[in-house]
Chains A and B, each alone.
Chain A
Amino acid sequence: MKKLSARRRHPLAALVVLLLALACTGGLYAAFAPASKAQADETAQSLAIEEGKKLYAVGCASCHGTGGQGSSDGPSLVGVGAAAVDFQVGTGRMPAATSQGAQVPKKKVIYTQAQIDQLAAYIASLGAGPTVPTEAEYGPEGADIAKGGDLFRTNCAQCHNFTGKGGALTNGKYAPDLEDVDPKHIYEAMQTGPQNMPSFPDTTLSEQNKKDIIAYLHAVNSDETVNPGGLELGGLGPVSEGLFAWIFGLGALIAVAVWVAARTAKAKKS
């Protein structure tokens, strides 16, 4: 099982590459990183807020109001923080389709990360709220996977299933599958409680707790997860196992039985 711990480093590498790419695109990331770096360049930040305001007016204001105060079509965004914007827009949930079902689904992201950061900067300027986490916060460094598993089963599994495969809520709502969701987005979701998900603020679920949970999820629900027994069957438990046993297990055995009991071909009559 040494491999598991070795593999932790793998996504980190990918993230570093991603971050470098972001830095190259706009050099904007640093501007919105948490407090310690925030003193960086005030002009860059106000520029971002300006840009974000423009994007907001076009893409968001029709539902959330011109100043983010909310309307009958969308909640107020004052005080939701940059983290909420980064999650909602970064996973494609926002902007939502005009006719929504029970819940706004994950979609194709239509803004670039730079634009999302500008939007986030604007919303954050409306009222203080959770900031976008840094890689140091959600990265695998120093995480306790086993503790994360315990926390996940206490706080998350009831909606998202043992290994984060998702599950049903009332009246068509659902908790989504967490496979290969960006760790940053998982962190933000816990902080901000998007849609019907309750929030798990740092005061009740510490930063270290969140890090542990993310590391656990990566270990058990990513494309690198080892399922020693073979096909995972969706990781849904006895329902998919039962269907498999009936269709493929009993199905194969009945096919064999048909062969065993069938008459052997007769010689052609001459």
Chain B
Amino acid sequence: MSSQDIPEENVPAERDAHEGAHGAVSVADEKNPFADPGLPPHEHRIQDIDERAAKRSERAVAFLFTVSMLATVGFIASYVTIPADRSIFVFPIGHLSALNFALGLTLGTALFTIGAGAVHWARTLMSDVEVADDRHPIAAPPEVRAKVHADFKAGATESAIGRRKLIRNTMFGALTLVPLSGVVLLRDLGPLPEDKLRHTLWAKGKLLVNMNTDEPLRPSDVAVGSLTFCKPEGLEEHDEDFQNEIAKAALMIVRLQPDDIKDKQELEWSHEGIVAYSKICTHVGCPISLYEQQTHHVLCPCHQSTFDLSDGAKVIFGPAGHALPQLRIGVNDEGYLEALGDFEEPVGPAFWERG
């Protein structure tokens, strides 16, 4: 506010007539030096008193609107002339799509200048006299309130809803029950859980197929310190249910020095130090595979649950609640790694029925 440069004694006197009508206005007096002095007097902008300044504003607004028109022409021209696959180098952004850049800048300019023109117009040429408007209480006055209450009572009495309780109660019953149909209709959104979350495609004798080469693995392929991902034999990317199956069956294969394996069961279920763990985090199901070959820790990139693959994949940090399930593996007659059964516990996130 620019009230500092107004002589104080002038403030209340200079007020515009139509503003004076509103608000609790009192002159600072001996009684209350904090009283509301009322709206400060309106001060003119340069555009209000100098027609040349007003003309300048007018030209500025018109210029902005003209720029907008030109930008729209530019937008259409860019759309027509620039091929969708052309890329250009713009410093400091880098290589980017010429079309996106041109369309965005022209559209942005066309829009921005309309807004800037309108606001400049409002700020410099439209009246900037502050006006006060009265507020009225939101709540209705007592007589209205009384009338509404009376009308409602009259209506309720006429309907006899209070007297004929049988009608009222059966109506409430009907209205309560009818949405149930809608709820029932949702039943076929999906099947019941049953034991779907407990089983994966892995079964005794299924070969471990390397995701990279699509070939079954031999123990000699897996070096200490290496990381390999496997899917069960027979599961192909084109299969209808590939996504659902791989979401449970994805497997992570690492090889440890058998001496480094601390967990007895892990050692038993491994083959020559090769261990197979579910790739699906037991927290909320992200594919976990940030394997640190020196520490044998595996980290989940989503919520940082950390498991120790040398110690039964127990949780050593983060929000996961239990160890990664291990798949028991062995070698078949032809020398390929195979599963010796399904996972013994459900893979992925825990759920109420998991137990």
Q: Which residues of A contact B (CB under 8 A)?
A: 1, 3, 151, 154-155, 158-159, 167, 169-170, 173, 175, 193, 195-201, 203-206, 209, 223-232, 259-260, 263-267, 269
Q: A198-B227, A264-B124 are in contact. Are A226 and B87 (CB under 8 A)?
A: yes
B94, A232: Cβ atoms closer than 8 Å: yes
Residues of B within 8 A of A158 (CB): 287-290, 301
Residues of B within 8 A of A154 (CB): 211-212, 229
A-B contact pairs, 17 of them (CB 8 A): A3-B87, A154-B229, A155-B212, A159-B301, A199-B223, A199-B226, A200-B227, A201-B226, A204-B221, A226-B87, A228-B100, A231-B93, A259-B119, A264-B128, A265-B46, A266-B44, A267-B46
Q: Is B323 an interface residue (CB 8 A)?
A: no
Q: Is B101 an interface residue (CB 8 A)?
A: yes
Q: A199-B226, A228-B97 are in contact. Are A267 and B50 (CB under 8 A)?
A: yes
B222, A204: Cβ atoms closer than 8 Å: yes
Q: A170-B317, A209-B212 are in contact. Are A260 and B294 (CB under 8 A)?
A: no
A203, B222: Cβ atoms closer than 8 Å: yes
Bitwise, B219-241 to A at CB < 8 A (1) or not (0) is 01111011111000000000000
For residue B205, give the distance in angstroms from its CB to the closest CB of chain A.
22
Beyond A3-B85, A205-B212, A231-B93, 18 additional contacts (C-beta under 8 Å) are A154-B212, A169-B292, A193-B226, A195-B294, A198-B227, A198-B254, A199-B225, A204-B222, A206-B212, A223-B94, A227-B94, A228-B100, A229-B97, A231-B94, A259-B119, A264-B124, A264-B128, A266-B43
B228, A204: Cβ atoms closer than 8 Å: yes
Instruction: Provide the bound-state CA to CA distance between A118 and B226, in Å.
Output: 27
Residues of A within 8 A of B44 (CB): 266-267
Residues of B within 8 A of A232 (CB): 94
B229, A155: Cβ atoms closer than 8 Å: yes
A198, B45: Cβ atoms closer than 8 Å: no
Chain A residue nearest to B126 in the complex (CB): A264
Instruction: Provide the bound-state CA to CA distance between A102 and B217, in Å.
Output: 34
Instruction: Provide the bound-state CA to CA distance between A16 and B221, in Å.
Output: 33
Instruction: Provide the bound-state CA to CA distance between A231 and B100, in Å.
Output: 12
Bitwise, B47-64 to A at CB < 8 A (1) or not (0) is 111100000000000000
Residues of A within 8 A of B2 (CB): 263, 266
Q: Is B72 an interface residue (CB 8 A)?
A: no
Residues of B within 8 A of A1 (CB): 85
Q: Is B248 an interface residue (CB 8 A)?
A: no
Instruction: Provide the bound-state CA to CA distance between A159 and B94, in Å.
Output: 25
- Label chain A's interface by main secondary structure: loop
Instruction: Provide the bound-state CA to CA distance between A155 and B227, in Å.
Output: 8
Q: Which residues of B contact A (CB under 8 A)?
A: 2, 5, 43-50, 85, 87, 93-97, 100-101, 119, 123-124, 128, 210-213, 217, 220-223, 225-229, 254, 287-295, 297, 299, 301, 304, 306, 317
Instruction: Provide the bound-state CA to CA distance between A263 and B130, in Å.
Output: 11
Instruction: Provide the bound-state CA to CA distance between A269 and B44, in Å.
Output: 9
Chain B residue nearest to A147 in the complex (CB): B212
A196, B94: Cβ atoms closer than 8 Å: no
Chain A residue nearest to B104 in the complex (CB): A230
Q: A227-B95, A231-B94 are in contact. Are A199 and B45 (CB under 8 A)?
A: no
Q: Which of A3, A197, A264 contacts B123 (CB 8 A)?
A: A264
Residues of A within 8 A of B47 (CB): 264
Chain B residue nearest to A153 in the complex (CB): B287
For residue A223, give the distance in angstroms from its CB to the closest CB of chain B.
8
Residues of B within 8 A of A224 (CB): 95
Residues of B within 8 A of A200 (CB): 226-228
Instruction: Provide the bound-state CA to CA distance between A115 and B157, in Å.
Output: 104
For residue B212, give the distance in angstroms from its CB to the closest CB of chain A.
5
For residue B275, give the distance in angstroms from its CB to the closest CB of chain A.
13
Residues of A within 8 A of B96 (CB): 226-230
Residues of A within 8 A of B128 (CB): 263-264
Q: A3-B87, A260-B119, A267-B49 are in contact. Are A198 and B291 (CB under 8 A)?
A: yes
For residue A4, give the distance in angstroms from its CB to the closest CB of chain B.
10
Residues of A within 8 A of B289 (CB): 158
Instruction: Provide the bound-state CA to CA distance between A159 and B291, in Å.
Output: 9
B212, A196: Cβ atoms closer than 8 Å: no
For residue A197, give the distance in angstroms from its CB to the closest CB of chain B.
7
A204, B306: Cβ atoms closer than 8 Å: no
For residue A68, give the distance in angstroms from its CB to the closest CB of chain B.
18
Instruction: Provide the bound-state CA to CA distance between A228 and B101, in Å.
Output: 9
Chain A residue nearest to B44 in the complex (CB): A267
Across the A-B interface, the 3 shortest Cβ-Cβ residue pairs = A198-B227, A228-B97, A203-B221
For residue A260, give the distance in angstroms from its CB to the closest CB of chain B.
5
Residues of B within 8 A of A264 (CB): 45, 47, 123-124, 128
B306, A170: Cβ atoms closer than 8 Å: yes
For residue A72, give the distance in angstroms from its CB to the closest CB of chain B.
15
Q: Which of B5, B45, B93 contacts A230 (CB 8 A)?
A: B93
A269, B5: Cβ atoms closer than 8 Å: yes
